[in-house]
Amino acid sequence: MADGTRRPLVAGNWKMNGLRRSVVEFAKIVAGSANLAGKADLMVCPPATLLTALAEAAKSSAVAIGGQDCHPESAGAFTGDIAAEMLADAGAVAVIVGHSERRTNHRETDADVRAKALAAWRASLLAIVCIGEAQVEREQGRTLDVLGRQLDGSVPDGATPANLVVAYEPVWAIGTGLTPSVRDVAQVHEFIRQRLAQRLGAAAGGIRILYGGSVKGSNARELMAAPNVDGALVGGASLKADEFLAIAGVYG
């Protein structure tokens, strides 16, 4: 549960899904967001091709738009890459960095993720830094070691509640329908909070820590009720407005 000092954030990561017609589904999210009455922040991170259209559709609503990745540099000869400044220019206020799909498929290291988080800050974007253990790491009892190393290496100095959100996404829970027990989630989130506090002091108390991995309407309430869980990073279930709104509705 997000305590009074942290406003919950429910963010949808559309990954490589969505065409122009998806603006219609997004408009339903915007319409439904009115019911939240400011009790939680709502965000959708579409593919880059839809940033401008969704930012336009979200205008004068409380739904924010984010990117899914950025390049560390602000411009240059990097074919196919997108700068944080470009995301901001397209209407994004945040960017996900270090998602496990990028760490795995694009071999991104903690140092890469850290550089991207710094790029996000340079462009005045909120950095949503993802960390998470693989199944084998969990089975070997290395979960907290792995997460501690990822957190230390991926979060730059100077993190504050205004520029950083941490998302805990166990790799084995992404897209599988599996989730850790609420107890395990609570243990990991407390560990993340303490690790941030060792480095950042009191600021750590205000940084939001999201849970991600097979969150849906039917399990959101118990997962979001765990201590130090300040919202969700939602994949598949964010593609359907009704399901996404049901998750956010936990805070309504």
> Minimum distance between the CB of residue 212 and ligand 13P, rounded to whole angstroms?
4
- Is 212 one of the binding residues for ligand 13P (CB under 6 A)? yes
- Is 239 one of the binding residues for ligand 13P (CB under 6 A)? no
Catalytic residue among 85, 101, 137, 169: 169
Taking CB under 6 A as the criterion, which residues in 140-199 touch ligand 13P? 169, 174-175
Torsion of the alpha carbons at 137, 142, 144 and 145, rounded to the nearest 10? -110
From the CB of residue 136, how many other CB atoms can be counted at a distance below 10 Å? Answer: 10
Q: Which is nearer to ligand 13P, 44 or 84 (CB)?
A: 44
Query: Which one, of 118, 133, 126, lies nearest residue 208 by Cα?
Result: 126
Q: Which is nearer to ligand 13P, 13 or 150 (CB)?
A: 13
Binding part of the chain for ligand 13P, among 26-34, 113-121, 142-150, 229-237 by CB under 6 A, reads 229-237
- Is 210 one of the binding residues for ligand 13P (CB under 6 A)? no
- Is 132 one of the binding residues for ligand 13P (CB under 6 A)? no
Question: At which residue do the structure tokens 């954030």 appear?
Answer: 9
Residues present in the chain in total: 252
Catalytic residue among 99, 101, 189, 243: 99
Taking CB under 6 A as the criterion, which residues in 72-111 touch ligand 13P? 99
The reply to whether 169 belongs to the active site is yes
The reply to whether 133 belongs to the active site is no
Query: Using an 8 Å Cβ cutoff, are 171 and 134 in contact?
Result: yes
Residues 72, 213, 231, 249: which binds ligand 13P (CB under 6 A)? 213
Active-site residue numbers?
99, 169
Provide the binding-site residues for ligand 13P, judged by CB under 6 A.
13, 99, 169, 174-175, 212-215, 233-237
